[in-house]
Amino acid sequence: MRDSQSKVKNLAKQLSESPIVVKFGGSLMDQVPLISTVLRSSHRPILIVPGGGPFADAVRTLLVGEDAAHWMAICGMEQYGWYIAAVGGFATQETIAVPEKPVVLLPYRSLRTTDPLPHSWNVTSDTIAAWVAAELHLDVVLLKSVAGIRVHGKIQEVISSPVSCPEVDSWFIPFILDHRQTAYVVDGRDPEQIAALAGGKTLRGTIIKG
């Protein structure tokens, strides 16, 4: 009996300390202090991929070609990343590697070196976060201002085939499925979900599983 209880506790500890990639949505800019406090207390190695937020939105208003817009938007991710790090009290890193504790990734250098994704607004920080997770063979969580992915007005618990939806960019779901990854779309404005993420517990929202 004691051996069984010990195994359960060890498994729970492993889950609570398992590394994960977390995309911190730009729409959650007003939530950075609160979310950061919880994530910073986590024992999980969390690699935070910043969204583009208002910095990438500014690029959308400019009359520039797709190549320029692509790199400018990624620079926008870096700006938001510096904001998250400064306000949230995180360290930053430029390499795609599993950190020892929650850290903000500044993605420009790695993306500029490898250039793995199309230069198009069909690819946003959603798919960039998925690519980072694929490189590390980790799950990815998208923190957004939505409760999950809706199809015909209903939030889907699980998605295992391509669907069209406004909650993520059009490349994200096919990328996850093609690379046989697991992704979660979670409400970043729900404190319970942030606590569950930090503790390695079950998340509500939508699971995309390849």
| pLDDT of the residue at 4 | 42
| pLDDT of the residue at 210 | 83
Note the pTM of the prediction, 2 decimals: 0.91
Give the DSSP letter of residue 30: G
Bridge-based pairing of strands 154-155 and 150-151 is: antiparallel
Q: What's the CA gap between 22 and 24, in Å, rounded?
A: 6
6-36 as b/e: b if 16+ CB within 10 A: eeeeeeeeeeeeebbbbbbbbbbbebbeebb
Structural domains of the chain sorted by starting position, each given as residue range(s) with its CATH number in brackets: 19-209 (3.40.1160.10)
Q: What's the CA gap between 43 and 121, in Å, rounded?
A: 35
Per-residue CA distances from 59 to 26, 74, 76, 84, 205 (Å):
14, 10, 8, 20, 30
Whether residue 51 contacts residue 76, with contact meaning beta carbons closer than 8 Å, is answered with no
| Mean pLDDT per 10-residue segment, the chain (210 residues) | 45 66 98 97 96 95 96 98 98 97 97 97 97 98 97 95 95 98 97 96 94
| pLDDT of the residue at 16 | 63
Give the pLDDT confidence of 172-205 residue by residue, as tens digits: 999 999 999 999 999 999 999 999 999 999 999 9
Give the pLDDT confidence of 22-45 residue by residue, as tens digits: 999 999 999 999 999 999 999 999
Q: At what angle do helices 191-199 and 32-40 cross, to 10 degrees?
A: 30
Q: What's the CA gap between 93 and 99, in Å, rounded?
A: 9
| pLDDT of the residue at 17 | 81
Beta bridge partners of residue 185, listed in sequence order: 142, 206
